[in-house]
Amino acid sequence: MGDYRGKLRRGNAIEEYLHGKGVICLHAFSDLSHISPATFVYLLKECYICGTHKATRKFRVLQQQVSRALYHGPQPGPFTFIIQCLYIVSLLGPNHADGFSHMLISSLRNIRTLKSVLEDFSEAKHLVVKLFLDKFACAITDDESIVVKLLEEFDVELKDIGDAICGSELNNGCLDRAEAYAKQFISGLIESKSYMAAVKLSERFSIQHSGESFLVKMMQCNQFGTAERWATFMGKPMICLLVQKYLDMNLLKLAYDLVKGNNLMQEFPDVSHLYKESSLRKLAERGCWDVAEQRANNDRELLEFLVYLAMEAGYMEKVDELCERYNLDGFTKVVSGPGESSYGVYYLDLKKLNMDDIIWVDNIDGLLTARNYIEECKIVGIDCEWKPNYERGSRPNRVSIMQIASEVRVFIFDLIKLYEDEPEALGSCLRRILCSSNILKLGYNLQCDLNQLSYSYGNLECFDSYIMLLDIQKLFKEPKGGLSGLAKKILGAGLNKTRRNSNWEQRPLSENQKEYAALDAAVLVRIFHHVRQQPQSGANKEWCKIEWKSHIESRISRRRPTNTS
């Protein structure tokens, strides 16, 4: 007993590593020639329980130690030793058994390259087959995925199972019994919804089973990758059935990828076009018209579809632009009322918000006029726009314009021109506005705009600090649809976001761009007044309870970005 405790104390030295000391003292793991699988598993569990790091870290460290220990004389050999350990691990209970089983199996991979353990590998393979049959007979309670993983690691085939059943007298009857065992085991996997394990075993034993019902089960569980792997194994008819299922579910990208990957364009000639139209619609909904135009790739049908999307969104200048650029004829212009799309969807416009005018500010006189006016306001809405950058990994473009709206007027500051011509005046004027404690400044998702302003014009002190900010987004729990969705919920109509990702660096901006930009700032003031003035009873009680004053940030100071250029 004292000798065993000594081994345990030495074994627990691994725990020092788990505590971060980084030193492995001599312990029982350094000589496995006299350590039983039961003792080894017990030591593993003790090391894991005593460790203070997170579970993933502890498992990774222990796996490294197990891999090293297998070079130190486990009897009768490393593969056999680990399989014997797996029988013990199954007794640890669900909290430890699965994790330790996967760890032990993974530790074998580096050992397989050693010629000295080939004989042990063959012997262990017989034990794996026995473990499979024991699992089949419910003699052990290992998770099915562990058994499947072992069958893969040891390259077990039906003839190996047949050999274990019949011994040396292997015949067709034994193979039939082995296949029956495998089929029944696979059926159990399907029943327990272990679909990937079932597919892997079907491939390993070349067993084609079930049919459409199995495919439907996988798709109902959103295991599309597993369904595709199984359909590929079953052959072309099942792949075609899966494509049709994708089309029925409107999963056009999955259908397109499967058709393209399996050369089924002849069987599904419309899938490519449907997928491309779907992609264009998603881009249009996000306002990424330039990207959508590139994706159309001069295909006339796709370009015409893009024109219809622009008409649907009420983006008539994009309709004119596309028709002119690609000589597209035959489109009937639908004349819509103010704030109405061609499909009858109503949006907010400046007239509905009772706004007088939009004032473009791009010189020092306009800057001073705007500052004097805004300093007399108690509440203003602030928003920014910049040209989108669609190149992955590239730096964002600098902020192009900044909109500041009162209750009746919107000033649009041309930051690019003002910064080039009058940087000191720009910084001074904006600082007096942004740092005024007399003006409540409203925004939506303010952090994004502040970060972008600081990134774009970090050497202007006006973007170093802000006073009296209120982020409208934070007043509402889980707002859906962004600012447009919030406007629709509170004011009864949303914002037309089709110009969101247009080119904000072009000069002059179109009148539609200016109105879009102005609305984003003006609607903040209108939403704030609407919520603040709600009566204490009525249909909109949730808005009355909003403690907007507690959300005001009295001062925000920002570090200047480091100039890496």
User: Which CATH number characterizes residue 403's domain?
Assistant: 3.30.420.10
How crowded is residue 116: how many other Cβ atoms within 10 Å of its Cβ? 9
* Helix/strand/coil for 440: strand
Q: Which residues, in sequence order, are CB contacts of 237 under 8 Å at separation 6+?
A: none
Q: How far is the CA of 371 from the CAs of 145, 309, 367, 426, 429, in angstroms?
A: 69, 40, 6, 10, 6
pLDDT at res. 94: 72
275 located within any domain: yes
For residues 47, 53, 58 and 64, what is the CA-based torsion angle, rounded to 10 degrees?
-100
Report for 114-118, 262-266, 286-290: range of highest mean pLDDT: 262-266
448-454 average pLDDT score? 90
- pLDDT of residue 242 exceeding 70, the answer is yes
Under the banding of pLDDT at 50, 70 and 90, the label for residue 343 is very low
Asked whether 45 and 89 are in contact (CB, 8 A), the reply is: no
How crowded is residue 197: how many other Cβ atoms within 10 Å of its Cβ? 24
Residue owning tokens 């202007």: 460
- Considering only CA atoms, which of 357, 452, 351 is closest in space to residue 405? 357
12-27 average pLDDT score? 42
242-254 average pLDDT score? 93
Given strand 465-471, what is the order of strands in its sheet? 357-361, 409-414, 399-405, 379-386, 440-443, 465-471, 553-557
125 located within any domain: yes
416-431 average pLDDT score? 95
Q: pLDDT tens digits for 452-487?
A: 998 999 889 898 889 999 999 888 765 667 888 888
- pLDDT of residue 425 exceeding 90, the answer is yes
Check whether residue 146 and residue 230 sit in a common domain: no
505 located within any domain: yes
Check whether residue 361 and residue 454 sit in a common domain: yes
526-540 average pLDDT score? 69
Check whether residue 74 and residue 14 sit in a common domain: yes
Check whether residue 431 and residue 488 sit in a common domain: yes
pLDDT at res. 316: 78
Domain boundary among 94, 124, 156: 156
Check whether residue 481 and residue 457 sit in a common domain: yes
- Considering only CA atoms, which of 275, 224, 269 is closest in space to residue 245? 224
Q: What percent of the chain has pLDDT over 90?
A: 34
CA-based torsion, 283, 288, 291, 292: positive or negative: positive
Range of the domain at 308: 271-326
Look at 104-118, 123-137, 549-563 and tell me which has the smallest mean pLDDT: 549-563
249-261 average pLDDT score? 94
CA distance 292 to 53: 49
200 located within any domain: no
- pLDDT of residue 11 exceeding 60, the answer is no
342-360 average pLDDT score? 75
Asked whether 493 and 344 are in contact (CB, 8 A), the reply is: no
pLDDT at res. 41: 87
CA distance 306 to 289: 9
pLDDT at res. 411: 97
Residue owning tokens 């108690």: 378
Radius of gyration over alpha carbons of the chain, in Å?
34
Check whether residue 363 and residue 466 sit in a common domain: yes
Check whether residue 374 and residue 501 sit in a common domain: yes
- How far is CA 9 from its chain centroid? 46
pLDDT at res. 237: 93
- Considering only CA atoms, which of 278, 280, 274 is closest in space to residue 259? 274
Residue owning tokens 């302003």: 453
202 located within any domain: no
- pLDDT of residue 143 exceeding 90, the answer is no
Check whether residue 100 and residue 138 sit in a common domain: yes
Regarding predicted confidence, which is higher, 138 or 427?
427
- pLDDT of residue 240 exceeding 90, the answer is yes
pLDDT at res. 345: 56
Check whether residue 477 and residue 373 sit in a common domain: yes
- pLDDT of residue 6 exceeding 50, the answer is no
Domain boundary among 113, 138, 156: 156
pLDDT at res. 439: 95
Check whether residue 471 and residue 396 sit in a common domain: yes
- pLDDT of residue 538 exceeding 50, the answer is no
Residue owning tokens 């013990």: 88
pLDDT at res. 478: 57
394 located within any domain: yes
- Tokens of residue 164, six digits: 């274990």
Helix orientation angle between 118-136 and 144-153, rounded to the nearest 10 degrees:
150
Q: pLDDT tens digits for 266-320?
A: 999 999 999 999 999 888 887 788 889 889 999 999 999 999 888 877 777 788 8
Q: pLDDT tens digits for 370-412?
A: 999 999 999 999 999 998 887 777 788 999 999 999 999 999 9
pLDDT at res. 537: 44
Helix orientation angle between 316-326 and 300-312, rounded to the nearest 10 degrees:
160
Asked whether 302 and 274 are in contact (CB, 8 A), the reply is: no
pLDDT at res. 332: 55
Asked whether 467 and 434 are in contact (CB, 8 A), the reply is: yes
Q: What percent of the chain has pLDDT over 70?
A: 85
pLDDT at res. 234: 93
pLDDT at res. 352: 78
- Tokens of residue 357, six digits: 């005018």
Helix orientation angle between 224-234 and 236-248, rounded to the nearest 10 degrees:
150
Regarding predicted confidence, which is higher, 350 or 279?
279
Q: How far is the CA of 489 from the CAs of 419, 484, 544, 546, in angstroms?
A: 38, 9, 14, 15
pLDDT at res. 199: 92
Q: What is the overall mean pLDDT for the chain?
A: 82
CA distance 292 to 272: 16
Domain boundary among 266, 286, 310: 266
pLDDT at res. 9: 43
pLDDT at res. 296: 93
201-213 average pLDDT score? 85
pLDDT at res. 523: 94
- pLDDT of residue 138 exceeding 70, the answer is no
Under the banding of pLDDT at 50, 70 and 90, the label for residue 521 is very high
335 located within any domain: no
Check whether residue 251 and residue 294 sit in a common domain: no
CA distance 293 to 322: 9
Element counts in the chain: helices (H) and strands (E) = 26, 7
438-460 average pLDDT score? 91
CA distance 148 to 317: 60
- Considering only CA atoms, which of 15, 10, 55 is closest in space to residue 32? 10
Regarding predicted confidence, which is higher, 87 or 280?
280
pLDDT at res. 376: 95
Q: How far is the CA of 34 from the CAs of 7, 81, 105, 562, in angstroms?
A: 11, 12, 21, 61
pLDDT at res. 134: 81
181-200 average pLDDT score? 89
- pLDDT of residue 360 exceeding 90, the answer is yes
How crowded is residue 19: how many other Cβ atoms within 10 Å of its Cβ? 12
419-425 average pLDDT score? 94
CA distance 375 to 71: 78
Check whether residue 398 and residue 542 sit in a common domain: yes
pLDDT at res. 539: 44
pLDDT at res. 1: 37
- pLDDT of residue 13 exceeding 50, the answer is no
Q: For the chain, first and last CA: distance in Å?
A: 69
If one counts the domains in the chain, the total is: 4
173 located within any domain: no
